Amino acid sequence: MRLNLSDTFNKELPTDSNNKNTRRQVFEATHSYVNPKVPSEPELIHASHQMVEAIGLEEKDISSKEFLEIFSGIKIYPKTKPYAMAYAGHQFGNWAGQLGDGRAINLFEVEHDNKRWAVQLKGAGETPYSRQGDGLAVLRSSIREYLCSEAMHYLGVPTTRVLSLMLSGDDVLRDMLYDGNREYEKGAIVARVAPTFIRFGNFELFAARKDYKNLKKLTDYTIKYFYPELGQQSKETYIKFFKEVSKRTLEMIIHWQRVGFVHGVMNTDNMSILGSTIDYGPYGWLEDFDFGWTPNTTDKQNKRYRFGNQPNIGLWNLLQLANALYPLVEEAEPFETILNHYQKDFETQSLQMMRSKLGLKHADEEDSKLITDLEDCLLLSETDMTIFFRLLSDFKKNEFEVAIEQIQEAFYKPEEIKGKVLEQWQGWFKAYDKRLHKETLRDDERKAHMNKVNPKYVLRNYMAQLAIDDANKNDYNLIDELFELLKQPYAEQPENDKWFAKRPDWARHKVGCSMLSCSS
């Protein structure tokens, strides 16, 4: 197993002078050296062949002893120095101070095919940033992160990736519902991969401590490696940097809205500086279309991170990043301009994204109304978002009267689609038909376009739970089945039609399906 190592983060940025693995506040450093905990009996459950190759390994390496040892944390790859990153964050709207990698340990960076990848183990044991935690991760949350990262990538959503999923062989004590019932669960380790794992919170940590020297070092480093096109160190470059991060963050969230993904914990420590989805915790997928839905039981009261609020939270988080970067620029106006733009860009891009879901190529001034009217219809009675948009592509011009039958499968309670509800739907289909007559695409062409933006298969909450239930009984077949299925989310896969189905009734209120806590 040969890797083309290219460590930069731990070589170019300031290291914590204390080498002990004790929980503490760490100052004037971006990271602390710490080795992963040695797991008792690691076992490889699954590996992402595509990512294995992306970091420069070969398929045959996956079954090697070295792969198992390096990506479970038993052995340290020669000439590398694993480390945990220091960051802070705003959690649920409140300043939380220093957080940091409490259970993630970065192994190394590699370069392959002109791409830089940082490899990190999640669930690899205590670090100076573990606070009250044990540094470990349970199998259920690891499966969820593992499957969803790759599924998001294939959906075309920017995201961190994964390399492997392993059992640690150690049991982990968790109070899954925070109700006092603690139980031992299987421990697991995910090796995840991204160009960098730097978050908004890394900048916030230095800014909060008025450590502007290191704030600048971190910003210059980030621009040098991940935004080199922005130019040399200068105030203008820092502003351009913020603008680019805003742009990417918005694009990522628009993708989330398009596919019905709810992150669940959009704290600033969970916001990647690359505008990629990071830290899959109590995330979920919209089943019935509902702006107010959040899968996170920890957020049940305020629903801060509900589906419809994600774009606003993106803006709120960017404001925190702007505050953190401000000392490097010392002018508020450029930041304000960019933040104001976010709001406008959100409206334009959101509209454009919804047009694409409806198969509309051209812009019409009444499109906003058409879309709001559709959203109103979707909220009339529980309607499955994924199924609705996928079936809508079968719509044929002039045939609006049968449209409601074509999308029947999307309704959770078809008996409710009558009277006023039915009339409202029929009115909408009629309006949609009229609108389609202003387009030039043929029905089949429109369908092809729509099927590229409206996935047929997503990782429904209950699907991940089924894979978890099996894995807890040592059966990993479903992990592989879902992994393969979700590699082609837009394709018709007739042999997999059972996964193009509404959430089954048993999953409606089941823990892990509709309700998830931060316990992981």
272 binds Mg ion, rule: CB under 5 A? no
518 binds ligand AMP, rule: CB under 6 A? yes
Question: In the window 281-300, what residues touch ligand AMP (CB under 6 A)?
Answer: 281
91 binds Mg ion, rule: CB under 5 A? no
Stretch that binds ligand AMP, among 93-101, 332-340, 399-407, 461-469 (CB under 6 A): 93-101
Binding residue for Mg ion, selected from 98, 270, 298, 320, defined by CB under 5 A: 270
361, two tokens: 């190529």
Between 515 and 518, CB nearer to ligand AMP: 518
DSSP 91: E
Q: Using alpha carbons, select from 385, 387, 367, 383 the residue that is nearest to residue 257.
A: 385
Q: Are 307 and 284 in contact (CB under 8 A)?
A: no
Question: In the window 41-60, what residues touch ligand AMP (CB under 6 A)?
Answer: none
Binding residue for Mg ion, selected from 150, 170, 279, 299, defined by CB under 5 A: 279
299 binds Mg ion, rule: CB under 5 A? no
99 binds ligand AMP, rule: CB under 6 A? yes
211 binds Mg ion, rule: CB under 5 A? no
Q: How far apart are CA 206 and CA 213, in angstroms?
A: 9
Q: Which helix (H) or strand (E) is 83 found in, with range?
A: strand 83-85
Q: Using alpha carbons, select from 390, 397, 403 the residue that is nearest to residue 439.
A: 397
Binding residue for ligand AMP, selected from 150, 211, 279, 299, defined by CB under 6 A: 279
End-to-end CA distance of the chain: 31
Between 246 and 270, CB nearer to Mg ion: 270
Angle at 385 between CA 392 and CA 273, to 5 degrees: 120
Q: CA 410, 413, 415, 420: dihedral to nearest 10 degrees?
A: -80
Between 120 and 309, CB nearer to Mg ion: 120
Q: Are 147 and 459 in contact (CB under 8 A)?
A: yes
Stretch that binds Mg ion, among 157-165, 262-270, 352-360, 455-463 (CB under 5 A): 262-270
517 binds ligand AMP, rule: CB under 6 A? no
Residue 113 annotated to the active site: no
- The listed partner (Mg ion, ligand AMP, none) that binds 256, CB under 5 to 8 Å by sort, is none
Which residue type sits at 403?
A: A
Q: How far apart are CA 169 and CA 468, in angstroms?
A: 16
Query: In 359-476, which ranges are continuous DSSP H helix?
Result: 367-378, 385-392, 403-406, 419-436, 443-450, 461-471
- The listed partner (ligand AMP, Mg ion, none) that binds 518, CB under 5 to 8 Å by sort, is ligand AMP
Phi, psi of 175 (to 5 degrees): -105, 85
Show the binding pattern over residues 110-149: x = contacts ligand AMP (CB under 6 A), - = does not: -------------------xxx-xxxx-------------
Q: Using alpha carbons, select from 478, 482, 464, 490 the residue that is nearest to residue 141.
A: 464
Based on C-alpha coordinates, what's the Rg of the chain?
Answer: 24
Q: Which among 170, 211, 220, 269 is annotated as catalytic?
A: 269
Q: How far is the CB of 270 from Mg ion (least distance, A)?
A: 5
* Partners of 383 in the β-ladder: 411
Q: Which helix (H) or strand (E) is 142 found in, with range?
A: helix 139-155
101 binds ligand AMP, rule: CB under 6 A? yes
- The listed partner (Mg ion, ligand AMP, none) that binds 102, CB under 5 to 8 Å by sort, is ligand AMP
- The listed partner (ligand AMP, Mg ion, none) that binds 80, CB under 5 to 8 Å by sort, is none
Where does this chain bind Mg ion (CB under 5 A)? Answer: 270, 279
Active-site amino acid positions? 269
Where does this chain bind ligand AMP (CB under 6 A)? Answer: 99-103, 129-131, 133-136, 265, 269-270, 279, 281, 518
